[in-house]
């Protein structure tokens, strides 16, 4: 998890001595869910957290880093934190791999109660029933959006209440991001960035640097009193090629006219 544990393990007794619940799993309580515990709780029954291969951890780290880079002020990104999904009839404590939430000032390790902007489940060796059970619980509690990241297939399944699911592939369209993750202007993320560190870097430090450079070009043009047409402005603000942006910044400072600057950008 993201911070030193705040909940100490409690002695809830050996799970092998517990009675069985209605679906054949051992009974449990929220006290079974503590930092480092192997257990989740689903409608009063224990579910063992399925730890996947190394690729699971790699994808989890890539996404958490990307989300933290692009999160707006007041948005918190948490990894592997227990969430309270209890209702009036039973207790449920489940742990998404990554969450984006609006209502925390700092990451926490205790059980989270609220509605995330986005929850991510990374499927490596987990079974379909295991993930389906979790996602159905998220939907039942009104969670706004859930991604299932399929590691072996390199696909991302986006599930929104009332809208079904959409599957995104490496060769297809990028995955739309929630507005809470567009502080640097990134509105969608290519699927390759979920699985390849080199591709993810393009949307972390490189993206932020490009955004900063683009804004610098526009600032210089405005300071010189130049009015720039929209196609050229869009090209500058959408570019993440640092070589082009550095060249345009020099041109913005030295071009004798806006026409000369636009002509230079047009040759780029």
Q: What is the pLDDT of residue 35?
A: 84
Where are the domains positioned within the chain?
50-195, 205-266
Q: Average pLDDT for residues 242-268, to the nearest whole number?
A: 89
Q: What is the pLDDT of residues 64-79, one digit of tens each?
A: 999 999 999 999 999 9
Give the rounded percent of residues in the chain with a pLDDT score beyond 90: 66
The answer to whether 9 and 36 are in contact (CB under 8 A) is yes
Q: Average pLDDT for residues 93-100, to the nearest whole number?
A: 95
For residue 90, the 8-state DSSP code is -
Q: Which residue has the tokens 């393990």?
A: 9
pLDDT at 251 over 90: yes
Which helix (H) or strand (E) segment is 4 a member of?
A: none
Q: Which residue has the tokens 């869009």?
A: 234
Alpha carbon 8 to chain centroid, angstroms = 28
pLDDT at 262 over 90: yes
pLDDT mean across residues, the chain: 89
Q: Which residue has the tokens 């989270």?
A: 112
Which residue would you say has higher pLDDT here, 240 or 52?
240
Q: Which residue has the tokens 């299932």?
A: 148
pTM: 0.82
Q: What is the CATH number of domain 50-195?
A: 3.90.1570.10
Three-point CA angle 194, 136, 180, nearest 5°? 45
3-state secondary structure 5-53: CCCCCCCCCCHHHCCECCCCCEECCHHHCCCCCCEEEECCEEEECCCCC
Which residue would you say has higher pLDDT here, 248 or 110?
248
Q: What is the pLDDT of residue 4?
A: 45
């Amino acid at each position: 998890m993201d911070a030193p544990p705040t909940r100490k393990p409690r002695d809830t007794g050996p799970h092998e001595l517990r009675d069985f619940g209605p679906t054949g799993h051992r009974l449990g309580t929220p006290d079974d869910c503590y930092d480092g515990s192997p257990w989740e709780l689903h409608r009063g029954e224990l579910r063992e957290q399925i730890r996947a291969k190394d690729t699971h951890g790699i994808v989890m780290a890539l996404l958490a880093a990307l989300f933290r880079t692009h999160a707006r002020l007041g948005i918190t990104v948490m990894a592997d934190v227990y969430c309270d999904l209890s209702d009036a009839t039973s207790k449920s404590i489940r742990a998404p791999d990554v969450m984006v939430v609006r209502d925390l000032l700092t990451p926490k390790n205790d059980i989270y109660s609220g509605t995330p902007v986005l929850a991510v489940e990374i499927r490596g060796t987990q079974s379909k029933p295991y993930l389906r059970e979790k996602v159905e619980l998220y939907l039942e509690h009104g969670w706004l959006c859930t991604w299932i990241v399929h590691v072996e297939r390199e696909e991302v399944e986006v599930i929104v209440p009332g809208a079904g699911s959409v599957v995104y592939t490496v060769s297809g369209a990028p995955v739309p991001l929630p507005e809470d993750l567009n502080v640097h202007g990134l509105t969608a993320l290519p699927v390759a960035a979920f699985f390849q560190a080199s591709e993810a870097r393009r949307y972390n430090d490189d993206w932020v640097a490009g955004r900063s450079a683009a804004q610098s070009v526009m600032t210089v043009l405005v300071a010189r009193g130049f009015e720039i047409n929209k196609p050229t402005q869009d090209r500058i603000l959408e570019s993440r090629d640092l070589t082009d942006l550095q060249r345009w910044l020099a041109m913005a400072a030295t071009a004798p006219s806006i026409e000369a600057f636009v002509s230079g950008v047009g040759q780029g």
